[in-house]
């Protein structure tokens, strides 16, 4: 390995991965509809670079290159590879997004930019969202409102096409997805968050987000195109172990970036260099670390192997090390008494203040899924034996905790309603000292007799009774919830279709925070007004998780109904990020158009419905062995009698 001396680092540095080219403008790629046609210009098999610890580099084929940026925070270092004779950036009209040369980054100005948009729509909720949850309507009026809207004909019908042919909506979706592809060093590496040609201030929507790329990756994999996913997994892996700081403090090793951007840096002699510029949360609104990024990365790694059969990728030393870093970070000891993962607000898909700090269901479902993936992916040797044992113990404890304490249905709500409080005992029934007055009035009338769901959060003296769609759907997919609970969740969605699906699937959460709750919990967030964005908005990207859950539970009828509903509007509405109002009637007031994960989520759902058998590669069945694993059985103190045996008979089907 050729190397030069490392520059002394100051704490708040930025990192770039450069890749040189001999041409500054170069020639654009020819338009293609098959990403696998691209040659792999940068050979990953000879590119196993890793950084472990403070600057310890494992690499046999790569030379070190230092990029110096003018910054008050100091200097940064990066890695260089030569990609001669290629312009790695194709024109967007030719099928690829043009990466702008070192331009001003508007990420940090999103609040001021968006406020002007909010002011233009300040009367939006007052006009269209009156009465909120407590507004009383005659029985059947909600259905009539939706049926009337569907009958107006303002949205196109689902196209009738011959068998084997793609509909115009599907064709347009594929064209838009391919146009959103970002290349690095001549190879596809991910997709933009949004690719609206009329958006002059993209903020950070012109970056590749790990969570946003998941449906894009699945769409490409199901189509037989694996190169872009392989490149994405390996390049983001290289970003993982780098030093990242916020105000001179560095988080633990293993943190994956929320996003990254490919930038071009001009050099001398009419040459330029491509660099990967990651964001670990130090530029994000609120400066929140993306806890879900590493979990999604592991989930995608498993899906890649299952669909392509390329298990050699997961067996690489650097990939195995990456998995261990993520899991060790998640399993690190702390002060928490629960097996669930403790996180701050805004650390997942809901990345703004929405009162989900603590133990949000979405993180627990992804955590459980990533643990199950890791158990499959890790090579069994002496170095991983203890980690695998820790994974098994955590899986067992986490599944019991969520199934027993997060689940609510008519019976459970009635039980909470009669709770005694201030119990001081290891045998307490009300273990978390939940006050019955916390049960919201809307829930008592809303919960159906044949249905239930997992609540959004659980902490001492606090239960968040909101329905969070992604957490519940991924609990079905990962078998975090029991088979009986899985059926009840889908029964609830079917019974409350107009609340949770409405005119555009699916609500990110229900109900919306309104009035004083909105002011106190969100901090009067102008973007998260009632029934908008994260606060009860409708997100079409959730279609693919819903479709996957329905296929697993043999409820294809629900998935088809939701996909057909979305297909009527998405193309006409220009593929928005989210929809507003209680039933998703209007395009979101600040929604980006041509949102990539909206497009990819729709395509993935369509392909899963066309070939339901492929869904089995993406979900997990119940692991009955986990129910037999209990850490309590390994301890001799006998201080506390384990309640697992009694609870198992209630939750196991």
C-alpha distance from residue 580 to each of 153, 316, 504, 567, 575 (Å): 20, 45, 9, 17, 14
525 has pLDDT over 70? yes
* 232-236, 269-273, 297-301, 341-345: least confident range: 269-273
291 near 218, Cβ under 8 Å? no
Confidence at residue 273, expressed as pLDDT on a 0 to 100 scale: 92
Helix (H) or strand (E) holding 23: none
pLDDT above 90 (res 379):
yes
pLDDT of residue 84: 40
CA-to-CA distance for 145 and 148, rounded, in angstroms? 5
By three-state DSSP, how is residue 225 classified?
coil
Give the per-residue pLDDT at 243: 66
246 and 287 in contact (C-beta within 8 Å)? yes
Please choose, from the candidates 21, 131, 133, 11, the residue with its C-alpha nearest in 3D space to the C-alpha of residue 73: 11
- pLDDT score at 524: 96
Classify residue 183 by its DSSP letter.
E
Q: Given pLDDT bands bounded at 50, 70 and 90, which one contains residue 648?
A: low
Predicted confidence at residue 161, as pLDDT, reads 67
Residue-wise pLDDT for 389-443, tens only, equals 999 999 999 999 999 999 999 999 999 999 999 989 888 899 999 999 999 999 9
d(CA 249, CA 109): 23
| pLDDT-wise least confident of 95-99, 221-225, 561-565 | 95-99
**Residue labelled with tokens 């790629």:** 29
pLDDT at 253: 83
pLDDT of residue 626: 81
Residue 1 has pLDDT above 90, yes or no: no
Q: According to the model, what pLDDT value does residue 426 have?
A: 84
* Distance (Å, whole) CA 578 – CA 546: 16
Residues 87-136 have pLDDT tens digits of 333 333 334 443 333 333 433 443 333 444 444 444 444 433 333 444 44
Give the ranges where 121-161 is alpha helix by DSSP (H): 124-128, 141-151
Of all residues in the chain, the percent with pLDDT exceeding 90 is 61
Grade residue 226 by pLDDT with cuts at 50, 70 and 90.
very high
Band the pLDDT of 383: cuts 50, 70, 90. confident
Q: Which range among 7-11, 272-276, 333-337, 593-597 shows the weakest confidence by mean pLDDT?
A: 7-11
Q: Which residue has the higher pLDDT, 268 or 422?
A: 422
Widest CA span of the chain, in angstroms?
78
CA atoms within 13 A on the CB side of 62: 25
What percent helix, strand, coil does the chain show, rounded to 5? 40, 10, 45
Which 8-state DSSP code applies to residue 98? P
> What local confidence, expressed as pLDDT, does residue 24 receive?
37
- The proportion of the chain whose per-residue pLDDT surpasses 70, expressed as a percent, equals 70
Residue 642 has pLDDT above 80, yes or no: no
Least confident among 102-106, 221-225, 505-509: 102-106
Question: Burial level of 494, CB count in 10 A (0-12/13-18/19+)?
Answer: middle
**What local confidence, expressed as pLDDT, does residue 461 receive?**
93
pLDDT of residue 50: 38
The residue with greater pLDDT, 117 or 292, is: 292
Tens of pLDDT, residues 583-621: 999 999 999 999 999 999 999 999 999 999 999 999 999
Q: What is the pLDDT of residue 64?
A: 31
User: How confident is the model at residue 249, as a pLDDT?
Assistant: 72
In the predicted model, what is the mean pLDDT of the chain?
A: 80
Which residue, 531, 401, 463, is CA-closest to 126? 531
For residues 20-39, give the mean pLDDT: 42
pLDDT band at 30 (very low <50, low <70, confident <90, very high): very low
pLDDT at residue 268 greater than cutoff 90: no
Worst-scoring range by mean pLDDT, 145-149, 345-349, 495-499?
145-149
Residues 453/365, Cβ–Cβ less than 8 Å: no
pLDDT band (50, 70, 90) for residue 25: very low
pLDDT attached to residue 111 = 39
């Amino acid at each position: 390995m050729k190397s030069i001396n490392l520059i002394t680092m100051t704490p708040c540095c930025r990192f770039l991965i450069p890749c040189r080219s001999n041409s500054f403008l170069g020639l654009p790629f020819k338009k293609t509809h098959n990403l696998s046609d691209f040659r792999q210009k940068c050979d990953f098999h000879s590119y196993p670079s890793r950084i472990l610890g403070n600057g310890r580099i494992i690499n046999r084929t790569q030379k070190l290159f230092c990029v110096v940026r003018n910054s008050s925070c100091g200097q940064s270092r990066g890695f260089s590879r030569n990609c001669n004779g290629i312009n790695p950036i194709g024109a967007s009209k030719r099928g690829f997004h043009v990466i702008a040369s070192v331009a001003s980054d508007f990420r940090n100005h999103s609040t001021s930019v968006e406020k002007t948009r909010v002011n233009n729509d300040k009367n939006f909720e007052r006009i269209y969202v009156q009465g909120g949850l407590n507004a009383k309507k005659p029985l059947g009026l909600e259905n009539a409102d939706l049926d009337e809207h569907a009958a107006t004909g303002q949205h196109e019908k689902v196209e009738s096409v011959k068998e084997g042919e793609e509909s115009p909506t599907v064709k347009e979706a594929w064209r838009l997805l391919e146009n959103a592809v970002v290349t690095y060093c001549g190879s596809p590496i991910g997709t933009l968050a949004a690719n609206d040609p009329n958006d002059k201030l993209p903020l950070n929507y012109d970056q590749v987000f790990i969570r946003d790329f998941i449906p894009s990756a699945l769409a490409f994999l199901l189509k037989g195109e694996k190169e872009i996913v392989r490149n994405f997994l390996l390049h983001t892996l290289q970003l993982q172990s780098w030093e990242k700081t916020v105000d001179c403090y560095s988080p633990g090793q293993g943190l994956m970036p929320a996003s990254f951007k490919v930038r071009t840096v001009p050099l001398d002699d009419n040459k330029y260099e491509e660099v990967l510029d990651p964001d670990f949360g130090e530029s994000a609104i609120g400066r929140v670390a993306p806890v879900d990024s590493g979990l999604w990365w592991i989930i995608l790694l498993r899906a890649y192997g299952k669909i392509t059969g390329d298990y050699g990728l997961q067996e690489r030393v650097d990939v195995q090390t990456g998995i261990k870093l993520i899991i060790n970070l998640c399993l690190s000891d702390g002060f928490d008494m629960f097996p669930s993962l403790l996180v701050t607000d805004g650390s997942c898909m809901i990345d703004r203040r929405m009162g989900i700090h603590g133990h949000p269901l979405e993180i627990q479902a992804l955590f459980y899924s990533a643990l199950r993936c890791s158990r499959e992916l890790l090579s069994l040797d002496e170095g991983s034996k203890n980690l695998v044992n820790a994974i098994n113990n955590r899986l067992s404890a986490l599944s019991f905790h969520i199934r027993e304490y997060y689940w609510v249905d008519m019976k459970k709500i009635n039980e909470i309603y009669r709770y005694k409080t201030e119990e001081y005992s290891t045998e307490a029934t009300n273990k978390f000292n939940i006050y019955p007055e916390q049960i919201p009035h809307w829930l008592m009338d809303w919960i159906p007799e044949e249905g239930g769901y997992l609540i959004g959060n659980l902490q001492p003296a606090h239960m968040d009774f909101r329905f969070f769609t992604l957490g519940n759907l991924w609990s079905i997919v990962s078998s975090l919830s029991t088979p009986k609970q899985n059926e009840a969740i889908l029964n609830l969605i079917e019974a409350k279709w107009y609340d949770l699906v409405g005119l555009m699937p699916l609500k990110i959460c229900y109900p919306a925070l309104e009035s004083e709750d909105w002011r106190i919990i969100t901090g009067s967030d102008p973007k998260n007004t009632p029934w908008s964005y994260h606060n009860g908005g409708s997100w079409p990207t959730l279609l693919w998780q819903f479709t996957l859950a329905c296929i697993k539970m043999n409820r294809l009828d629900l998935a088809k109904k939701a996909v057909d509903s979305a297909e009527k509007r998405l193309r006409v509405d220009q593929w928005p990020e989210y929809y507003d109002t209680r039933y998703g009637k209007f395009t979101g007031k600040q929604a980006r158009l041509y949102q990539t994960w909206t497009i990819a989520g729709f395509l993935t759902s369509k392909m899963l419905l066309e070939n339901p058998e492929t869904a089995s590669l993406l979900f997990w069945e119940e692991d009955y062995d986990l129910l037999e694993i209990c850490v309590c059985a390994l301890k001799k103190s006998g201080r506390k009698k384990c309640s697992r045996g009694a609870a198992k008979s209630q939750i196991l089907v």
